[in-house]
Amino acid sequence: DIQMTQSPSSLSTSVGDKITITCRASQDVRNFLAWYQQKPGKVPHLLIYAASTLQSGVPSRFSGSGSGTDFTLTISSLQPEDVATYYCQKYNSAPFTFGPGTKVDIK
């Protein structure tokens, strides 16, 4: 099965900063990659699918890129409401595996 990794596992930065989270698949998943945001105590929400397509209603400061095995989620200007754990998920085939998550906090 394809394994998913994310880096960093956590980061703490300032409001307004640009942050980048990396997701890596152990094999080619083409562009079948989604990103989710889970705020503390809340259910996950879909941010991005097809590696770079923003889900309806998601702020434009979020963007995704990549294809094959290497992907990134970028927040162009971090806001206080972006404090959350972010997960990637590959969906080129079952199992629809999630990455281990990246926890984002505000300094």
Partner 1 sequence: EEQLLESGGDLVQPGGSLRLSCAASGFTFSSYAMTWVRQAPGKGLEWVSSISGSGDDTYYADSVKGRFTISRDNSKNTLYLQMNSLRDEDTALYSCAKVAGYCSSGGCYWYFDYWGQGTLVTVSS
Positions in the binding site for partner 1 (CB under 8 A) = 1, 32, 34, 36, 38, 43-46, 49, 55, 85, 87, 89, 91-101
Strands (E) in 26-81, as ranges, are: 33-38, 45-49, 53-54, 62-67, 70-75
Q: Is 5 in contact with 23 (CB distance < 8 Å)? A: yes
Shortest distance, CB of residue 50 to partner 1, whole angstroms?
A: 9
Shortest distance, CB of residue 7 to partner 1, whole angstroms?
A: 14
Residue number, 16 or 40, with CB nearest to partner 1? 40
Residue number, 69 or 97, with CB nearest to partner 1? 97
Shortest distance, CB of residue 15 to partner 1, whole angstroms?
A: 26
Six-digit token string for 88: 């990637």
The C-alpha torsion from 65 through 90 and 21 to 85, rounded to 10°, is 130
